[in-house]
Structure 1
């Protein structure tokens, strides 16, 4: 996805238009830039999209009328630029995989370097995202003075006016799961198969053995040749490899299983490892990726199941939504059933979700602010389940100054009235943007490994079809990802019947033990610690406990802190004080 670059700005040419020079657009293999112009109306699509010029001419009516969401409904993954006599519109995709960055003067770009602005990481924001998640600041880039157009929005520019965000989500609710699933199945099938056909050669694919990658491989194998790759080692579930092998046999594709060693464990950060201009959790997995992706390097594209969890499933936020809507009995019934199936006591889970619903998004954030300011971090709201904001282990690492800085940012987020107040809507968009950012952040690693990844589950058409189905219907209480079986009923029953899901947590825990010394050295010079935001002793104590294998608690927070710290230091984006780039 990283081959196309484009930039523009508020050109003061007297025409009222924001001029985009297509000479600045570089188009990579398999991608095209297509345009249509009639009079003062123009539209350009850049990226992986099968739209033809005849269709572009048809949407010029929408361009003249300013119906910008009409320009985002094609298959694929792409940017759109359009202009009429009054304004210029620029947009990426709903997930944020195709980013648009911009500054207060209306200069914008799809790549941070094209802004030609000094990149100064905002350390307090980086700390806040480690502590409280990235959900609360979707419109901020990692750098001071540079904004990010959030997924689901476009950027509207007019001469002499500040840039404006416009909503392009355009979700049309489905009548029920069955009708919505049919639309989703058609969208996903098209998203996978048009790319495989266009490649005209063998394509690569991840095949973890889970439902998402397996479904993509099945669809791809129906129209082309596939070489799938699976990673396994001493810590992965044997069930994952078994399902992957069974899918490969079922589809009669080429399949390579890579057997990793302890040298491939996370957090090795080898010399020469590439990086990007944004932190990415996947930076910790570079050796693992290099091992299992080597057999498919250089193929025209590589299919992944990344994003399947977001569009096919939902979290316990759906039960918070039921409580918000006054459906207390239905919420209680489902929560009790869920807990009992897992041999867990439903009481704490129920009370946690009930408290979260009562507080609402603003109330939960204000509660988190109070906990930080008073240093009372032991009773995070919504402990029993999903919450808008959960202060975990990383909050205990903050210095007094760090707590004040993070509290200030959370207070600003609480005052923002734009995010959805309904729990399930907020959660699905936050999860989608996080997933898109993760895929975006992997781009430099993909380039280094000779991989051209595609993410069919993140296409606008697929996302819209999925989000048209209410999250509660996608949340299977007795079945796992019920929309997939409804959308693709021809998938084998033994695959759709799978209830387990693999995890790389064991590798992460073992990696803390293997790399404990070098990770300690990394943290000692982390800008987030040397700037006084995190307490070194508190972080070192957690790392020591993880390194001794005593507990996995805090491992996810430590993963985030380590990758952000490595990015700040190893990528050379800033000095240890965070003041120069």
Structure 2
């Protein structure tokens, strides 16, 4: 029988920075709570929690047939929680608890079973380890692994795949960087029976409606966003919003301002020495409404990327935004200083209202020749490329099954392909390996290639549409992870960042339309513009670009070069046999000279190296 450690809150004598819960099901002994940990329900001692939690972040309800634990931002009131829980259990349909507005993890417990449901973006994951006696589960990966008795050893294969194949989500699905520990992914459910049998499934698989019109989808998106923002504003308290000048955060800010009498505090970040083209848009948009009060947060040399890495507090799992930690902390300090408690942002919109370039392959695969030709010409013109080259990529993708894409990736890894990516590489299941492949050790490259090749055998050798939907769902999960990490960084400041685009109902509204129909040539975010044309000033919806922070990245690398060099010379990833530090150092030197750099992969590498040092 699986049993919990006697001290799940602090098995190594430390106190967790973040609140959480930990449990075992079925359980045959009482769990002794330690420190601030206590039982969630007196008659269920094998489920404990510790805080402090934000107001409304940790809630529970019960009825004669069972009980539910809700963690995250559930916008339903207590009465609805109780009423809907009772109805769901009477109908033997526990999945109905996923229909409340908001974004949250729900755990339903009855005499017969435990069933857990994650949110659709994976913003509130559940970690678990199953054995013959049942499941140990929790929101803290390190505490869950220790309580399950599996230790906290890193899984080199997952680490390598996360850094070098991050765009291939099927490789490490449900696995974590801790060996033996699994994650319940976005839109998944876990059922554990009273006898210890375990079942995992997708309770909300992507199911676009081929009959839905773009106008109807826009209406659904508008209604879902209205509810998501209005419910947060109705709870009272101090609310603020991001206001970068981009379409996503700007739209959320205008929606929120509709519900206030006094001006809404909104924040735009700007570095005077490395402008990202955001400030002018933010200033212009703020002048469009007297209900907005713009605060400009100005960066300094100390808030550039890669600064103060030695002080970066590692979360339970690697944080790929660690390299911009000081910039994010600066923004959060300003929000907190003006009294902000709930801070709204636009995270998640890019995954929902932008069709990835792979949608061109779906147009080819569904025989939409006229639109395919028109869109390939538009993209070729925008990118100063050949329409024929774009069309060739689209047709090739339409004929490539996932198995074929995986086999091609394995072959490229084995050869050690390393090149600058081209924009047309995005018209694919995932981009081809980039320059970062050259950082892998020979043994790690072979290990990763063998793993990808073996994984290919699990997929059918048939092509079909839906590549863009696959890519968009992966991007959505990444947005969920980004938002979760930002939320943890914000705890010491007393700020709760929230992203209405990541609410379950907003996700359902957007994904009802196939990804290839969310695009209209090179028009920028047509679905969002249509949805909000009566809510947001037309001038604020005209921007076609996003902020470019590469200037800050290059300045940051130059300023932090001695620290980065020292870290790489004593790399934990090298100790695992995964990278050749000299190759990474050579890339750093090229970056210092102004050469093109795979910054996303480099940021993942830095994050993992810091995390390995923390858990090692």
Same fold (TM over 0.5): yes
- 1:409 & 1:380 partners in 2: Cα distance? 23
Q: 2:276·2:548 contact (CA, 8 Å) conserved in 1?
A: no
For residue 468 of structure 1, report the CA deviation from its aligned partner.
Answer: 0.8
Which residue of structure 2 lines up, in the alignment, with residue 305 of structure 1?
346
Which residue of structure 2 lines up, in the alignment, with residue 114 of structure 1?
143
- 2:196 & 2:458 partners in 1: Cα distance? 22
Moved more, 157-166 or 86-95: 157-166
Cα deviations by residue, 1:305-346 (Å, 9 ceiling, x for unpaired) = 111111121111211222333445543431222111332223
Sort the Cα spacing of 1:282 and 1:425 in 2 relative to 1 into closer, same or farther, 3 A. Answer: same
| Match among 380, 404, 408 for residue 367 of structure 1 | 408
For residue 190 of structure 1, report the CA deviation from its aligned partner.
Answer: 1.4
| Match among 363, 380, 397 for residue 339 of structure 1 | 380
Aligned Cα root-mean-square deviation (Å): 2.8
- 1:381 & 1:234 partners in 2: Cα distance? 30
Cα deviations by residue, 1:283-309 (Å, 9 ceiling, x for unpaired) = 111221222332211522111111111
For residue 534 of structure 1, report the CA deviation from its aligned partner.
Answer: 1.3
Which residue of structure 1 lines up, in the alignment, with residue 34 of structure 2?
none
Which residue of structure 2 lines up, in the alignment, with residue 423 of structure 1?
467
Specify the SS of the correspondent of 2:186.
coil
Sort the Cα spacing of 1:378 and 1:215 in 2 relative to 1 into closer, same or farther, 3 A. Answer: closer
Sort the Cα spacing of 1:462 and 1:31 in 2 relative to 1 into closer, same or farther, 3 A. Answer: same
Cα deviations by residue, 1:85-132 (Å, 9 ceiling, x for unpaired) = 532211221111111001023111112243125222223321222111
Structure 1: runs of 5 or more not aligned: 575-581
Which residue of structure 2 lines up, in the alignment, with residue 577 of structure 1?
none
For residue 221 of structure 1, report the CA deviation from its aligned partner.
Answer: 0.9
The aligned runs of 1:561-576 (5 Å cut-off) are 561-569=605-613, 572-574=614-616
Check if 1:184 corresponds to 2:221: yes
Check if 1:11 corresponds to 2:11: no
Q: 1:352·1:382 contact (CA, 8 Å) conserved in 2?
A: no
Specify the SS of the correspondent of 1:281.
coil
- 1:36 & 1:410 partners in 2: Cα distance? 45
- 1:428 & 1:255 partners in 2: Cα distance? 32
| Match among 214, 234, 245 for residue 209 of structure 1 | 245
| Match among 496, 504, 507 for residue 452 of structure 1 | 496
Which residue of structure 2 lines up, in the alignment, with residue 100 of structure 1?
126
Structure 2: runs of 5 or more not aligned: 1-16, 30-42
Sort the Cα spacing of 1:433 and 1:20 in 2 relative to 1 into closer, same or farther, 3 A. Answer: farther
- 1:286 & 1:308 partners in 2: Cα distance? 22
Sort the Cα spacing of 1:342 and 1:503 in 2 relative to 1 into closer, same or farther, 3 A. Answer: same
- 1:344 & 1:131 partners in 2: Cα distance? 28
Specify the SS of the correspondent of 1:494.
helix
Specify the SS of the correspondent of 1:143.
coil
Specify the SS of the correspondent of 2:471.
helix
Specify the SS of the correspondent of 1:48.
strand
Sort the Cα spacing of 1:286 and 1:238 in 2 relative to 1 into closer, same or farther, 3 A. Answer: closer
Check if 1:410 corresponds to 2:439: no
Check if 1:38 corresponds to 2:79: no
Sort the Cα spacing of 1:516 and 1:58 in 2 relative to 1 into closer, same or farther, 3 A. Answer: closer
Specify the SS of the correspondent of 2:426.
coil
Specify the SS of the correspondent of 2:119.
coil
The aligned runs of 1:142-157 (5 Å cut-off) are 142-157=177-192
For residue 274 of structure 1, report the CA deviation from its aligned partner.
Answer: 2.1
Which residue of structure 2 lines up, in the alignment, with residue 126 of structure 1?
159
Q: 1:361·1:421 contact (CA, 8 Å) conserved in 2?
A: no
Sort the Cα spacing of 1:156 and 1:203 in 2 relative to 1 into closer, same or farther, 3 A. Answer: same
Specify the SS of the correspondent of 2:25.
coil
Cα deviations by residue, 1:370-399 (Å, 9 ceiling, x for unpaired) = 222344556999954332232111112212
Check if 1:508 corresponds to 2:553: yes
Sort the Cα spacing of 1:164 and 1:544 in 2 relative to 1 into closer, same or farther, 3 A. Answer: same
| Match among 66, 71, 93 for residue 67 of structure 1 | 93
- 2:488 & 2:71 partners in 1: Cα distance? 20
Cα deviations by residue, 1:146-175 (Å, 9 ceiling, x for unpaired) = 000110111111134443222222656362
- 1:345 & 1:235 partners in 2: Cα distance? 36
Which structure has more relative contact order (CA 8 Å, sep 6+)? It is: 1
| Match among 526, 530, 541 for residue 482 of structure 1 | 526
The aligned runs of 1:246-265 (5 Å cut-off) are 246-252=284-290, 253-265=292-304
Sort the Cα spacing of 1:310 and 1:285 in 2 relative to 1 into closer, same or farther, 3 A. Answer: same
Which residue of structure 2 lines up, in the alignment, with residue 395 of structure 1?
437
TM-score, length of structure 2 as denominator length? 0.85
For residue 460 of structure 1, report the CA deviation from its aligned partner.
Answer: 0.5
- 2:454 & 2:399 partners in 1: Cα distance? 21
Check if 1:221 corresponds to 2:253: no
Q: 2:353·2:518 contact (CA, 8 Å) conserved in 1?
A: yes
Which of the two has greater strand per residue? Answer: 2
Which residue of structure 2 lines up, in the alignment, with residue 290 of structure 1?
329
For residue 65 of structure 1, report the CA deviation from its aligned partner.
Answer: 4.5
- 2:473 & 2:455 partners in 1: Cα distance? 16
- 1:344 & 1:3 partners in 2: Cα distance? 49
The aligned runs of 1:304-323 (5 Å cut-off) are 304-323=345-364
- 2:548 & 2:422 partners in 1: Cα distance? 26
Moved more, 312-321 or 152-161: 152-161
The aligned runs of 1:66-85 (5 Å cut-off) are 66-85=92-111
Check if 1:532 corresponds to 2:599: no
Moved more, 254-263 or 370-379: 370-379
Check if 1:560 corresponds to 2:597: no
Q: 2:357·2:427 contact (CA, 8 Å) conserved in 1?
A: yes
- 1:534 & 1:68 partners in 2: Cα distance? 46
Q: 2:95·2:117 contact (CA, 8 Å) conserved in 1?
A: no
For residue 47 of structure 1, report the CA deviation from its aligned partner.
Answer: 3.2
For residue 66 of structure 1, report the CA deviation from its aligned partner.
Answer: 4.5
Aligned residues: 565
For residue 213 of structure 1, report the CA deviation from its aligned partner.
Answer: 0.4
